[in-house]
Amino acid sequence: FITHILHILLKLKNFNKYLKFQNEMVKYHFPPE
């Protein structure tokens, strides 16, 4: 059960990294005016 929670937390961590990465890409492609 504990390992299951850790697994989910790890996924969330990666998901956050992914979101940050996407935000950076958006900024790069559409620079704020």
Give the pLDDT confidence of 16-31 residue by residue, as tens digits.
999 999 988 887 777 6
Percent of the chain having pLDDT more than 90? 45
- The predicted pLDDT at position 7 comes to 93
Domain boundaries, the chain: 1-32
Please identify which residue in the block is written with the tokens 């620079």. Answer: 31
Whether the per-residue pLDDT at 12 is higher than 80: the answer is yes
Taking all residues of the chain, what is their mean pLDDT, rounded to a whole number? 85
Kindly give the residue spans of alpha helices, DSSP state H, lying in 1-33.
Answer: 2-29
Instruction: Output the CA–CA distances (angstroms, integers) from residue 17 to 13, 20, 21, 24, in the order listed.
Output: 6, 5, 6, 11
Nearest one of 29, 11, 7 to 19, comparing CA atoms: 11
